[in-house]
Structure 1
Amino acid sequence: MNREYLENKETIHFKFEQNKEDFIVDEIPLSFKGNGNFAILHVKKVELTTWDMIAAFAEFLNIPAEKIGYGGLKDKHATTTQYISVEAKYEKQLKKFRHPQIKILTVTRHTHSIRMGDLAGNRFSINLFGVTQIEAGRIEKLARKSEKNGLPNYFGYQRFGRDEDSIEQARAMIAGDLHVNDAKLKKFLVSIYQSLYFNDWLKERVLLSREKNGGKFMLLEGDVYLSDEEKLFTPKSTPQKDFQAKKVVPTGLLPGRNVYRARGEAREIEAKYDDEFLYDKGLRRAALVYPQDITCKYKNHFDILNIAFTLPKGSYATVFLENIANKNFKAKRL
């Protein structure tokens, strides 16, 4: 399974490491009221999964992990900040919390617990190694081009496991050849199955755009769009002006029940990557995202380029880097 990008250009060779010094992720939250029955912790974690961090707080407070709210999962091999919530009655107890890989930065209040998806996006700061000065200029130019024209919103390699072994498990489970009792694992494997279909659909649309639209994402009659007000709709005609103004974005299908499906020309492609018999709830995902606030700082004597950028929630920094490099990356064996 490979991911294709809108420009079929020469590959740029650089390296990056997902570690605490060279891969920094900061969650951008939604606004908090400043009062209410829940304590909102702004937490910094180093070389820990979000699950490990939540488990540490759950053990310290002697509460089930389900009582701790969070907006999204953050990389393990990185330094990351994110927001979690607990009932405000634990605020005093948390002043004694100590952990070598976790630090509480600030505490505020809110009227309800943080729920999955309760974030605006993520800010990344990543060091790229082995970059010449000329390549640094090319990288910045390509990054800014994706800021203007959009970045294919693939699920990154992290979604599918180190050897993409999760894909085979998911297929076997859906086909009825693998029985899974664990509800969380079952939900995870269904999401893998849906993500694979989405990526394959997006790849075909990207290749079509390269062939027939000069490397700019090509809209089709019957596409389902997401408005800037987060509403899904299928217009009577292709909304090219609104698309160029970034007021609407085409979406792809994560198959399942009770989901809005494309029509006409767009449906002809989408139907190849659909499973109408899947019982789990379907979703739609933006086909493109627009990186923002891109900055590049080149360390001339070390051939290191630091690139910082902001992506919407659910989008992958490694996909942004793949788009620039014009190559696919894989999870490294540890």
Structure 2
Amino acid sequence: MYREYLEDKEKINFKFEQTKEDFIVDENPRKFSEKGNYLIFRVQKIEMTTWDMIAAFAQFLNIPAEKIGYAGLKDKHATTTQYISIEAKYEKALKKFKHPGIKILKTTRDKYSIRMGDLVGNRFSINLFGVSPIEAGQIEKRAMKIAKNGLPNYFGYQRFGRDEDSITQAREMIAGELHIEDAKLKKFLISVYQSYYFNEWLRERVLLSREQEGGKFLLLEGDVYLSDEGKLFTPKNIPQKDFEAHKVVPTGLLCGRDVFHARSAAGEIEAKYDDPFLYDKGSRREALIFPTDIKLDYKNNFDILNISFTLPKGSYATVFLEAIANKNFKASQIKRKHTDKKK
């Protein structure tokens, strides 16, 4: 499994580490009404998965974890700030909550519990190590170009397990060769299966774009677009101007039932990465996203470049770093000792 990017330039061999000091993520949530029957907590967690954090609150309150709402899953090896919701009747008890890896930063209220996907995006701040002054300039130039032309919206390496073994499990399960009892694991493996074929479809479209458009994503007749109003549609003519203005973006298939399919030339490519026999519900995902609010701070004496940026929900910061570096990363390569930051 390999992710290709729109520009095939020389590799930049920086390193990064998913540690609490060097990889920071902040959720950008939906708006809250500041009144209602749900407490909304802005929570900072360190070296914990989202599931671990939810379990800590659930155990403290002696309630099922399903009673705690959250918008997205965040990495363990990072400092992350995210939002959770708990019924307001637990407000008094929660004043006594303490945990070494969790800090409640702010509290408000809302009429509704937080649900998966209830966020606008995420803000990242990541330290890149082993960056020379020349490379710092190259990284900034590439980052700004990606922000203009778009970033292929791949699922990152995190989606597929440390050794990318989850896709093998997913295929075996769907083929009936592996029986899985756990409902959550089954759902996860189906999403891995869908993600894998989306990535393979996107890889083919990126290679075609590199061949014919030289660094810009090639739109095809029959593509399904997502408008800035959140609607899916297939136009009669290719909406090149609206695409360049970031008003519409082409989408790729997450295979399954009850999903809008591409047609014509786009449909011919998409069909290669479809599974019409997959009973689970399908959907569509943006083929490109556009990083915003990019800022860079270079610490010249230490060869460290801090890059901060905002991505839409469901997108991977590591994919942005891969596009800048023009290389693929693996989970097994990321967390290194400080003595191994530069080859």
Q: Deviations over 1:206-227 (max 9, x none)?
A: 0000000111000000000000
Structure 2: which amino acid aligns with 1:65?
A
Q: After TM superposition, list the pairs within 5 Å mapping 1:53-202 onto structure 2.
A: 53-202=53-202
Q: Quote the residue 1:229 is aligned against.
A: 229
Alpha-carbon distance in structure 2 between the residues aligned to 1:112 and 1:268 = 42
Shift, 1:289, TM fit: 0.3
Q: Quote the residue 1:281 is aligned against.
A: 281
Q: After TM superposition, list the pairs within 5 Å mapping 1:282-297 onto structure 2.
A: 282-297=282-297
Q: Quote the residue 1:211 is aligned against.
A: 211
**2:69 touches 2:85 (CA, 8 Å); kept in 1?**
yes
Alpha-carbon distance in structure 2 between the residues aligned to 1:116 and 1:91 = 22
Q: Quote the residue 1:244 is aligned against.
A: 244
Alpha-carbon distance in structure 1 between the residues aligned to 2:96 and 2:28 = 26
Shift, 1:7, TM fit: 0.1
**Percent identity between the two aligned chains:** 77
Structure 1: which amino acid aligns with 2:287?
A
Alpha-carbon distance in structure 1 between the residues aligned to 2:324 and 2:144 = 10
Structure 2: which amino acid aligns with 1:193?
Y
Structure 1: which amino acid aligns with 2:26?
D
Q: Aligned with 2:131: secondary structure?
A: coil
Q: Aligned with 1:310: secondary structure?
A: strand
Q: Aligned with 1:124: secondary structure?
A: strand
TM-score by length of structure 2 reads 0.97
Alpha-carbon distance in structure 2 between the residues aligned to 1:89 and 1:292 = 39
Q: Aligned with 2:53: secondary structure?
A: helix
Shift, 1:107, TM fit: 0.5
Alpha-carbon distance in structure 1 between the residues aligned to 2:7 and 2:34 = 45
**Aligned pair count?**
334
Structure 2: which amino acid aligns with 1:217?
F
Shift, 1:46, TM fit: 0.2
**2:121 touches 2:310 (CA, 8 Å); kept in 1?**
yes
Shift, 1:22, TM fit: 0.2
Shift, 1:150, TM fit: 0.4
Structure 2: which amino acid aligns with 1:89?
K
Alpha-carbon distance in structure 2 between the residues aligned to 1:129 and 1:95 = 40
Shift, 1:91, TM fit: 1.3
**2:55 touches 2:65 (CA, 8 Å); kept in 1?**
yes
Structure 2: which amino acid aligns with 1:117?
G
Q: Deviations over 1:120-149 (max 9, x none)?
A: 000000000000001000001100111100
Structure 2: which amino acid aligns with 1:146?
I
Q: Deviations over 1:304-323 (max 9, x none)?
A: 00000000000000000000
Shift, 1:21, TM fit: 0.1
Structure 1 unmatched ranges of 5 or more:
none
Alpha-carbon distance in structure 1 between the residues aligned to 2:5 and 2:70 = 32
Structure 2: which amino acid aligns with 1:133?
P
Q: Quote the residue 2:265 is aligned against.
A: 265
Q: After TM superposition, list the pairs within 5 Å mapping 1:294-305 onto structure 2.
A: 294-305=294-305
Alpha-carbon distance in structure 2 between the residues aligned to 1:14 and 1:205 = 27
Structure 2: which amino acid aligns with 1:298?
Y
Alpha-carbon distance in structure 1 between the residues aligned to 2:209 and 2:229 = 26
| Moved beyond 6 Å, runs of 4+ | none
Alpha-carbon distance in structure 2 between the residues aligned to 1:189 and 1:179 = 12
Structure 1: which amino acid aligns with 2:282?
G
Shift, 1:92, TM fit: 1.6
Q: Quote the residue 1:253 is aligned against.
A: 253
Alpha-carbon distance in structure 1 between the residues aligned to 2:72 and 2:231 = 22
Alpha-carbon distance in structure 1 between the residues aligned to 2:27 and 2:174 = 34
Structure 2 unmatched ranges of 5 or more:
336-343
Q: Quote the residue 1:32 is aligned against.
A: 32
Q: Aligned with 1:92: secondary structure?
A: helix
Is 1:7 the counterpart of 2:7 in the alignment? yes
Structure 1: which amino acid aligns with 2:122?
N
Alpha-carbon distance in structure 2 between the residues aligned to 1:308 and 1:274 = 36
Alpha-carbon distance in structure 1 between the residues aligned to 2:204 and 2:332 = 27
Shift, 1:332, TM fit: 2.1
Alpha-carbon distance in structure 1 between the residues aligned to 2:185 and 2:13 = 36
Is 1:332 the counterpart of 2:336 in the alignment? no
Alpha-carbon distance in structure 1 between the residues aligned to 2:77 and 2:181 = 30
Q: Which moved more, 1:299-308 or 1:179-188?
A: 179-188
Alpha-carbon distance in structure 1 between the residues aligned to 2:101 and 2:183 = 30
